[in-house]
Chains A and B, each alone.
Chain A
Amino acid sequence: MINALSYAELNARQRVEHLLDPGSFTEILGPSARVVSPHLALLGVPYAFDDGVVIGTGLMHDQPVLIAAQEGRFMGGGVGEVHGAKLVGLMRLALKVRPMAVFVLAESGGVRLHEANAGLIAVSEVMRAVLDVRAAGIPVVMLIGGANGCFGGMGLIARCADHVVMSDQARMSMSGPEVIESSRGVEEFDSRDRALVWRTTGGKHRFLMGDCDLLVEDDMGAFRQVAASLLGCSQKLNLQGLLDEQRVLTERLENTGQCNDAGEIWRRLGVEHPERVADMDVEQLQALKASQILGAS
């Protein structure tokens, strides 16, 4: 790709600038508002003037949108009291101004352990707020492409959204590999085995499984193009939708619940050469999924 701009290498504010129409972003409670975590200061830990999340309004293809971007370089994007409240506030603002979409550029290890109790409650508040926006027919779109991945509570929030978009370098799961290794030992999950980590939590696996809807290259332009295509694309949750999801997840468990490696799962999904997946680019994976995958959705 010519002139590709790596999404992963940009910070939260740069991603927002590049995703939206140039100059259209207006930040809410930006750094000058100095709304900082009161808890980090007590611990003597450096705090950020935006508490690690950039939120605001803007335009995409001249259509009004709301946007949030987590800064993975500040406390791993962890959700604390203020950080979580900014996300909740943005979702409630969406109910008021009815944008064409709410984009969440997720990059987070989940609950910020320095203010653990507040973060835990905040994650459930964000989940409820996201589902309120979804119920109002406004699409919530998760974009995941940062180096820190999308884990823990943020992985839960992501799966409450209408759409999940990942880059092939991105990762999403519940517990991170390091957490599992420290709890169950290196035999359970070797967090330094990059290939293992990627095929367990990475964008390609999530795409083949259907846990993310769209897979893109690690390129800002690719993210922008996909984001624009989802404007106004609401998928309201209803009983039938959740019964369908129940069926999909039940069948997944029946068909692949005994598998211990992504390669086995991909084979059962109909991938003829699972060993080639790691070297495939996004276009090849899209073609593979369109042609061969039967069991996933």
Chain B
Amino acid sequence: MNWKELVIALFGEAHTITRTGDVISGDAHLQVAEAELTIAVVGTTDHAEIGVETALAQARLVLDTVSRYPGRPIVLLVDTQGQRLRRRDELLGLNRYMAHLGCCVDLARRNGHRIIGLVYDQALSGGFITSGLMADACYALPEAEIRVMRLPAMSRVTKISEDLLRSLSETNPVFAPGVANYVAMGGIQSLWSGDLKQCLLDALADPNTSDIRTRLGADRGGRALAERVVHQVIEA
């Protein structure tokens, strides 16, 4: 689904969302019972590569919302091919720019903004870590793709045969790309389908803002150990 279809599905015509470069942003309005709820939308499109400019632009939008509209919910729309792979961006400190975006999202949460992430197309590695994965909860459309790397590349890097990786990935969600695997591991709260506006309203109504992903991963069987390890350390 492209971003225009997505915002129509989420908000109908009641939005001012536009695109600047690979960044999309604007306000949207939802009718909640009798009241109208305004939401800030921040995201990327066209499988954006996240370089210093893209990270900084998104951080600016999040900070503007925190500064000017206390408490306004923020929806992060994710479509990224990951961090930009250029020497110039590394020279400028890309990890600092991207971490800054993550810190801004985290600050918004602490200041009482609900933050919902939605992977609507593609989410890869670093570009995903500092946006959708920093939300209160991150959701995905069923047709979205989430991955660190595809199996052929993983096979090359790890020097493990693609056949073995493919057969293991049928029973273990850790190895293969796919939104269902991320749901099983707790990284994605759930998949949205049908009435997307209702899905968003339900997500906004969920009062939880603490990080429960290791527990979800354990409950769903996709990450058996993480939750137990965390608790063993806390109780040590």
A146 close to B (CB within 8 Å): no
A42 to B234, CA, bound (A): 28
For residue B151, give the distance in angstroms from its CB to the closest CB of chain A.
10
**Interface contact B91-A174, CB-CB below 8 Å:** no
Task: Give every chain A residue within 8 A of B225 (Cβ-Cβ).
Answer: 35, 38, 81-82, 85
Q: What total of chain A residues lie within 8 Å of the partner, measured CB to CB?
A: 84
B88 close to A (CB within 8 Å): yes
**Interface contact B160-A256, CB-CB below 8 Å:** no
Q: What total of chain B residues lie within 8 Å of the partner, measured CB to CB?
A: 76
A283 close to B (CB within 8 Å): no
CB within 8 Å for A128 and B106 given contacts A82-B229, A118-B185, A121-B182: yes
Within 8 A of B (CB), among A124-169: 124-125, 127-129, 131, 135, 152-153, 155-160
Within 8 A of A (CB), among B203-236: 211, 213-214, 217, 223-227, 229-234, 236
A105 close to B (CB within 8 Å): no
B contacts with A: majority SS: helix
A45 to B182, CA, bound (A): 23
**Interface contact B236-A88, CB-CB below 8 Å:** no
Partner of B229, one of A42, A85, A243, A261: A85
Partner of A261, one of B53, B91, B126: B91
Q: What 1/0 flags go to A181-211 for Cβ under 8 Å of B?
A: 0011000110000000000110001100101
**Interface contact A42-B172, CB-CB below 8 Å:** yes
Interface residues of A (CB under 8 A from B): 28-29, 33, 35, 38-39, 42-45, 55, 81-82, 84-86, 88-90, 92-93, 96, 111, 113-125, 127-129, 131, 135, 152-153, 155-160, 172-175, 177, 179-180, 183-184, 188-189, 200-201, 205-206, 209, 211, 237-239, 242-243, 245-246, 249-250, 252-253, 256-257, 259-262, 265
Interface residues of B (CB under 8 A from A): 52-53, 56, 59-60, 63, 66-67, 83, 85-100, 102-104, 106-107, 110-111, 125-126, 128-130, 133-134, 146-149, 154, 157-158, 160, 164, 168, 172-177, 181-182, 185-187, 211, 213-214, 217, 223-227, 229-234, 236
Contacts A/B (CB < 8 Å), 11 sampled:
A35-B225, A38-B225, A81-B223, A82-B226, A86-B233, A124-B133, A125-B214, A128-B211, A173-B90, A188-B85, A261-B91
